[in-house]
Structure 1
């Protein structure tokens, strides 16, 4: 068994040399810096196996009947390294199960600190280590004893750290062998001490078990209690109204609202990213296909939104199936624009119709046109007029003027109760028209108006301005709830430069157009236009009356 020295610039290179020379199971004894870099002392795995085998056989050899030889009072030479190693090994074997005196009880006040006793060096320890290092290169057997001594001391320190606190008698017995090592002795008396320790270890195990239980119980009672960690969400508020933050309904509701807003923002960001990347891909496709580029340019000029234009262009067939791409796009728009051209006209309907919409879209004028058209066909006696526009000064005077011309009285409702009374009063009429107050789509009173019209017999007609921007029309349809409306009236076609934005919103919301108004004349400027007429008018880009 030989210890080999490896020197390299770095520890990694030195370990690589060890692995190459001794294999992956080599035992590294020490690593220290040197003048050339790092020096590593390593041992082959077979050498460590021999050491362990010798350590296992050493107590068996000492188990022979000892021969007691009285030690002289004073020795003229120090104990050899082998004798000191054997003595410490025997003391370690004797202290694995410490012998306890029958008189030992819980009343012993003193305790010893294992960490202090493990860290306390023995007398003459530094000098013995120096002599051991000097003899390291002389004999393989000497190095084997040295390694065994180090292993025993390490095991002793681990056991001392794991043990709780023992009584003072145990401390005295644990430190007594260390004091005995300070006096030089021969190998023969040391074997006698080991034999006596082994005979003492044969004491009844019940006594040891009972003492261990008392020691463990004492240590458990004196050990500080550990409180479980308090999480940040579990912190409780102090005061008389103490409550859990996590369990507070207000806090949960606020968290839910915050999470909802965060989800909405994330969806908006995702939609924006999808739109941007989709537009980039769409523009790249337009550069490769001139037919798609030309069609998209015409649709953009008509005022259609980029989303609708992209869907149309992406669905454009080849030139053989659609030689005229604009005509093909017009046909697709006509099929997706819903009108009542195949149903009864609005003036031939029965029931209660309420015209709603923002300020200035032409609700009162459209009500007058519809009333005149109905009175012309069915007579003024079958018509009832109600106005809810009581907020503005003289707001209902315009409708009263039209009523006097038609010979129909106009009733005013200030709240829901009066509206229901008027509806009961006019229940015999064939058609009842309700003119509402104009409110901006973002006005808080708009919801109150819609709640006021929540009656089972009222059908709502949304009036939109064809001359408004596409974003404005979209906002109006969302605020007034176009899916809950009976239909849509498109007003001010004569003022619209581009009809495309209004038609785009109607197609995307799948709203049904029940009438159009293109002027101030009553009732001449009230029309029913087909989907084809509206699409052709939008693609021409003209807003003049036809």
Structure 2
């Protein structure tokens, strides 16, 4: 096995040396940093085939001719120790961990093969070990004739009832004549005493090749990680930007997309990233606001995100412009005790009656009753996104006149926001309302989710005051607030943590690849 050490300043240069020495199919054994840069241990692809050839045990020395049935000492089996010791001496030259691993496996398999050959030779050369019902002596393994031919001759001799003449190269063995027919056929008797062939280590070879392929995959993955870290080291500004985006709460999938398209000649990477995020964040700034557009809206969302308060803010903003007579309020929240009383309290302040619908038929009747209103707001019950009742609620508000608005808690975790968008079918909603942004330490996870799902932000709620805490924020204002970061130092990633995040295997990058237009 020809293992060679290559040293270069970078892993790319080391791989070029390996390719020049062993070709495109070279086998990489290990990589590690050293004083000169990177050290790579590799070997030629022919060495793997040589390992497989070496793994099959060499045939042992032929045993002596079998003695006659009347007596004679049995020859001793070839000892396994000299051959194993020779292999140990040959393989002990290397100190690499991979070679130690291969040497141990080869020695174990060779010892097992030699022990099996020794047991087979001992069973064949000892007539006393044969059963009493055996009609003839064992066929010596030293014969040059095939086993099938010798078995046929023995069967013919048994049928004739006379002493068999030993074939060339074998000692004569007496055969019992005129013996009653055995209960077992003669061919079966002869086959029982034929020497068993050593078991082919095909399963172990396949396992070893599988381990080599797995090791190759790990090495390729490691080289990919080294290439990414080397790229980051060549561009310190890009590395700092990547760490800042992670600290702001953006997902690694979105950051990979941005890092892959970062221009090398950009004077200010922070300004470039902010511009990309602003272009991809939909806020509907050019269109009219919800309270100006009018229509029938059902505010949906998980538990405790502020749907009732947001409904009251929208109702107050609309009533201040167009009057309470043009507004209708409906509540579907029959799960919480006194939930409809909260909206009724807001309705009394605004001067609007609040109606309650318990099923789909009652809701349709109320929509017909309020068809003359310019704007109708429907407050729904807060249900977890994974609850089975969520689908029932969505079907209840699936009327052709109703447009759904998803209320999202901006202070929630990024994975939770992602799950809410999927569970409430955000792609079928008119847009989202970001609530509790005053409680959110990081606004990055919420903006990351709406950017990847291409959902417009219709408004934001940053407090409990009605209607003062209802705003329409621009994409520039939202991105600027998200890039400010914040949070505790205990949750900030250092340089090693960033490398760990970006070198981990990614299950699927499809959602991030097509979500941001750079």
For the superposition of Structure 1 and Structure 2, which TM-score range results when normalised by the shorter chain? 0.5 to 0.7
1:293 aligns with 2:233: no
Instruction: Report deviation, 1:288.
Output: 3.5
Residues 1:463 and 1:9: Cα distance change in structure 2 (over 3 Å):
closer
Q: How does 1:15-30 map to 2 (within 5 A)?
A: none
Secondary structure, counterpart of 1:385 in structure 2: strand
Residue in structure 2 matched with residue 460 of structure 1 by the alignment: 404
Residue in structure 1 matched with residue 356 of structure 2 by the alignment: 412
Instruction: Report deviation, 1:283.
Output: 4.1
1:525 maps to which of 469, 478, 483: 469
1:316 maps to which of 262, 269, 292: 262
Residue in structure 2 matched with residue 168 of structure 1 by the alignment: none
Residue in structure 2 matched with residue 350 of structure 1 by the alignment: 294
Residue in structure 2 matched with residue 303 of structure 1 by the alignment: 249
2:307 maps to which of 344, 356, 363: 363
1:483 aligns with 2:433: no
Residue in structure 1 matched with residue 276 of structure 2 by the alignment: 332
Question: What residue ranges of structure 2 are gaps of 5+ in the alignment?
Answer: 1-59, 64-123, 126-140, 146-152, 169-185, 187-219, 488-518
Q: For the residues of structure 2 that align with 1:275 and 1:435, how far apart are their CA atoms?
A: 51
Residue in structure 1 matched with residue 389 of structure 2 by the alignment: 445
Residues 1:413 and 1:276: Cα distance change in structure 2 (over 3 Å):
farther
Residue in structure 2 matched with residue 374 of structure 1 by the alignment: 318
Q: For the residues of structure 2 that align with 1:498 and 1:371, how far apart are their CA atoms?
A: 29
Residue in structure 2 matched with residue 516 of structure 1 by the alignment: 460
Residues 1:307 and 1:467: Cα distance change in structure 2 (over 3 Å):
same
Q: For the residues of structure 2 that align with 1:409 and 1:278, how far apart are their CA atoms?
A: 64
Residues 1:278 and 1:385: Cα distance change in structure 2 (over 3 Å):
farther
Contact 1:282 1:310 in 2 (8 A): no
Q: For the residues of structure 2 that align with 1:375 and 1:121, how far apart are their CA atoms?
A: 115
Residue in structure 1 matched with residue 112 of structure 2 by the alignment: none
Choose between structure 1 and 2 for higher RCO, CA contacts under 8 A separated by at least 6 residues: 2
Q: For the residues of structure 1 that align with 2:247 and 2:226, how far apart are their CA atoms?
A: 20
Secondary structure, counterpart of 1:344 in structure 2: coil
The list of structure 1 runs, each at least 4 consecutive aligned residues, that deviate by more than 6 angstroms after superposition, is: 274-280
1:423 aligns with 2:367: yes
1:435 aligns with 2:418: no
Contact 2:248 2:486 in 1 (8 A): no
Q: 1:279-334: per-residue Cα shift (whole Å, max 9, x none)? A: 7764453234212211101111211111111211121111x2x1101110111111
Secondary structure, counterpart of 1:411 in structure 2: strand
Secondary structure, counterpart of 2:441 in structure 1: coil
Q: 1:160-200: per-residue Cα shift (whole Å, max 9, x none)? A: x9xxxxxxxxxxxxxxxxxxxxxxxxxxxxxxxxxxxxxxx
Residue in structure 1 matched with residue 447 of structure 2 by the alignment: 503
In terms of fraction of residues, the more helix-rich structure is 1
Contact 2:298 2:378 in 1 (8 A): yes
Contact 1:466 1:496 in 2 (8 A): yes
TM-score (norm 1): 0.50
Residues 1:288 and 1:363: Cα distance change in structure 2 (over 3 Å):
same
Contact 1:388 1:437 in 2 (8 A): yes
Q: For the residues of structure 2 that align with 1:448 and 1:403, how far apart are their CA atoms?
A: 27
Contact 2:238 2:259 in 1 (8 A): yes
Secondary structure, counterpart of 2:339 in structure 1: coil
Residues 1:121 and 1:357: Cα distance change in structure 2 (over 3 Å):
closer
Contact 2:282 2:475 in 1 (8 A): yes
Contact 1:9 1:38 in 2 (8 A): no
Secondary structure, counterpart of 1:494 in structure 2: coil
Secondary structure, counterpart of 1:335 in structure 2: helix
Higher Rg: 1
Residue in structure 1 matched with residue 512 of structure 2 by the alignment: none
2:414 maps to which of 470, 473, 485: 470
Instruction: Report deviation, 1:442.
Output: 1.9
Q: For the residues of structure 1 that align with 2:221 and 2:360, how far apart are their CA atoms?
A: 44
Q: 1:474-494: per-residue Cα shift (whole Å, max 9, x none)? A: 111111111011110001111
Residues 1:388 and 1:287: Cα distance change in structure 2 (over 3 Å):
same
Q: How does 1:91-490 map to 2 (within 5 A)?
A: 121-122=159-160, 126=163, 282-318=228-264, 320=265, 322-490=266-434
1:537 aligns with 2:481: yes
